[in-house]
């Protein structure tokens, strides 16, 4: 296996009988180049397998076309299913995703510092893996784009904020309309921003009916914890609605409830969050509050493509409801 280095623009220039500047112009769609020359250069380049060196290129125009994606882990479908779409969109635009997986990584700062070394143009904070301030501090010369449901008041950032208030209200209205009165929220990690938000949205929606809900704080986002906590709380509290911090816990809870002889969608309604694809299996069809991944990705891309001089901009994206069997017959 011979590892030959590709040729450079000067070498190709020699072969084409032009200067390296012309090579550069051929590849950068410069209108100053004669179309025929362009064609000739590109043909020759293709023939010899020449492609401009992105390192050298970004060294002097300081645009790397690299986008750092800061996530927790790709092993979690709730994150990965949206991420996959975003990566796809980036690739369509010939932007290169640099993935930073922060879960299990003690020193996230170090991780980001290394990434910043590559002169990334944009940083997308795709999960709550790191704080906005840390990221701002480290990625000084990149534009930071935050995707979160945490309200970042007055921060003047580029951000796409998820809002599930409407979706949550729809579900609550529907369930209250079914005559349900006893709501319980099973938390994943009560201290997490996303969990706090979700509880707040539920509280608001219930309050409009003059109602409240109880919180069980012992979950950890896993199937097992959903199962275990559901067994305990169903015996103790006897709710007719169980809202779970994520779909995995909702599925675990459903299995537990079934085991206890409850009829899902009738005796007990179950609601999940995230809308992961497995919430829609026949075995456990979970009504869930889902972030619209396509809309989010589009908004993020829009922020990424904004000219660097443009002022910070905020998008608010509304979550949607996936009606499934765990809340009985769907409305309308």
Which residue ranges make up the site for its own copies (CB under 8 A)?
1, 3-6, 49, 51-56, 58-59, 62, 64, 66, 73-75, 77, 80-81, 83-84, 87-88, 91, 94, 96-101, 103-105, 111, 113-119, 140-141, 143, 156, 223-224, 227, 251-252, 255, 277-278, 281-284, 308, 312
Q: How many residues are given for the chain?
A: 332
Helix (H, G, I), strand (E, B) or coil at 139: coil
Q: C-beta of 176: minimal distance to its own copies in Å?
A: 29
* Residue 116 near DNA by CB under 7 A: no
Q: C-beta of 18: minimal distance to DNA in Å?
A: 4
Q: Annotate each residue in 40-79 with x if it binds DNA (CB under 7 A) or - if it does not, as one string.
A: ----------x-xx--xx-xxxx-----------------
Residue 316 binds which of DNA, its own copies, none (CB < 5-8 A, kind-dependent) = none
* Residue 25 near DNA by CB under 7 A: yes
Q: Which structure tokens are listed for 89?
A: 């969109």
For DNA, the closer of residues 18 and 250 by Cβ is 18
Whether residue 219 contacts residue 244, with contact meaning beta carbons closer than 8 Å, is answered with yes
Q: C-beta of 208: minimal distance to its own copies in Å?
A: 35
Residues 6+ apart with CB under 8 A from 20: 9, 10, 12, 13
Question: Residue 209: which of 179, 252, 249 has the closest Cα?
Answer: 179
Neighbour order of strands in the sheet with 320-322: 213-216, 183-186, 241-244, 269-273, 287-290, 320-322
Question: Residue 219: which of 245, 241, 193 has the closest Cα?
Answer: 245
Binder of DNA out of 3, 4, 5, 235 (CB under 7 A): 5
Burial 87-122 (b: 16+ CB within 10 A, else e): bebbeeeebbbeebbbeeeeebeebbeebbeeebbb
Binding site for DNA (CB under 7 A): 5, 8-10, 13, 17-25, 27-28, 32-34, 37, 50, 52-53, 56-57, 59-62
């Amino acid at each position: 296996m011979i590892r030959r280095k590709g040729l450079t623009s000067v070498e190709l220039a020699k072969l084409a009988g032009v200067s390296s500047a012309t090579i550069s112009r051929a590849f950068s769609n410069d209108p100053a180049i004669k179309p025929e020359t362009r064609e000739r250069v590109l043909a020759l380049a293709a023939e010899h397998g020449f492609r401009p060196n992105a390192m050298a290129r970004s060294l002097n125009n300081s645009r790397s076309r690299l986008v750092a994606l800061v996530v927790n882990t790709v092993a979690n479908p709730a994150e990965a299913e949206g991420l996959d779409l975003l990566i796809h969109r980036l690739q369509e635009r010939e932007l290169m995703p640099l993935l930073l997986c922060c879960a299990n990584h003690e020193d996230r700062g170090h991780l980001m510092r290394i990434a910043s070394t590559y002169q990334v143009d944009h940083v997308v904070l795709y999960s709550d893996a790191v704080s906005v301030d840390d990221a701002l501090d480290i990625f000084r010369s990149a534009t930071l784009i935050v995707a979160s449901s945490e309200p970042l008041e007055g921060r003047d950032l580029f951000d796409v904020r998820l809002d599930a208030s409407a979706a949550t209200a729809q579900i609550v209205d529907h369930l209250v309309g079914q005559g349900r009165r006893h709501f319980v929220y099973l938390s994943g990690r009560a201290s997490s921003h996303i969990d706090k938000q979700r509880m707040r949205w539920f509280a608001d929606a219930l309050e409009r009916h003059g109602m409240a809900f109880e919180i069980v704080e012992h979950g950890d986002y896993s199937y097992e914890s959903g199962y275990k906590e559901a067994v305990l709380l169903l015996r103790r509290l006897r709710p007719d609605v169980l809202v779970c911090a994520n779909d995995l816990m909702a599925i675990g809870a459903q299995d537990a409830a079934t085991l206890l002889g409850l009829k899902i969608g009738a005796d007990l309604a179950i609601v999940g969050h995230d809308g992961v694809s497995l919430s829609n299996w026949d075995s456990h069809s979970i009504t869930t509050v889902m972030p619209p991944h396509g809309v989010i990705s589009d908004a993020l891309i829009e922020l990424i493509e904004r000219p660097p001089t443009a002022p910070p901009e905020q998008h608010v994206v509304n979550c949607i409801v996936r009606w499934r069997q765990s809340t009985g017959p769907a409305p309308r």
